[in-house]
Chains A and B, each alone.
Chain A
């Protein structure tokens, strides 16, 4: 039930791009993306709904492939501030239990 994220960890140089994937074994209604800095609370990035996509941050976007039950988070021209652990969260229907993925650690170096 917990979505699987890949890769588990990635190291980038400033300006490079990255893709983080989130896969579910069940059909998804929505996918959320959050970023967590070490020792801090997760911060919301964006929500993607079945049948559509909601706008996220600049240079950070996401896609939602309903057939593959998968979402991908795209970080372009990475900045040092992008470092952190990225979590996807999934739900199968509105109001149902929410499941977070195992997280992807992203480190951006100068």
Chain B
């Protein structure tokens, strides 16, 4: 079955530690995204990548880093510089938006990160 996997579902880390969240997709999508969701708030874009070896910052990229070495993988590292990292993290993918088209995003199940 095609889809997006995120692991682990729950993650606990001590303050000051870097942590990497995994996101893998087998949908053959070129575009991938990372969102952060806090209670009662919408999804805020951290980073996105339209193609392999290229990515752009979203609105809240500070304290996060990403890589896109393979089409199917887009890992997110939450660094110690992120002041308030406890949140629900969602990864998504889509085909690239062609001229005149807007495309849906497919979401993974999410990773709930808690920093103690």
- The answer to whether A and B interact is yes
**Chain A interface residues toward B at CB < 8 A:** 1-2, 5, 29-30, 32, 39-44, 47, 49, 87, 89, 91, 94-95, 97-103
Give Cα A50–Cα B93 distance, bound, in whole angstroms.
Answer: 23
Contact B106 A44 (CB under 8 A): yes
Contact A98 B45 (CB under 8 A): yes
Is B78's CB within 8 Å of the partner chain A?
no
Give the 10 A-B CB pairs with smallest separation, nearest first.
Answer: A30-B102, A41-B107, A100-B43, A44-B104, A94-B97, A100-B42, A102-B42, A95-B97, A42-B107, A103-B42
- 6 interchain pairs, CB-CB under 8 A: A39-B110, A91-B102, A94-B100, A94-B101, A98-B105, A103-B41
Interface secondary structure of B, over-half rule: loop
Give Cα A48–Cα B72 distance, bound, in whole angstroms.
Answer: 28
Cβ distance A75 to chain B, nearest Cβ, rounded Å:
19
Residue of B nearest to A9 (CB): B40
Cβ distance A18 to chain B, nearest Cβ, rounded Å:
19
Give Cα A94–Cα B100 distance, bound, in whole angstroms.
Answer: 7
* B56 neighbours in A (Cβ, 8 Å): 97
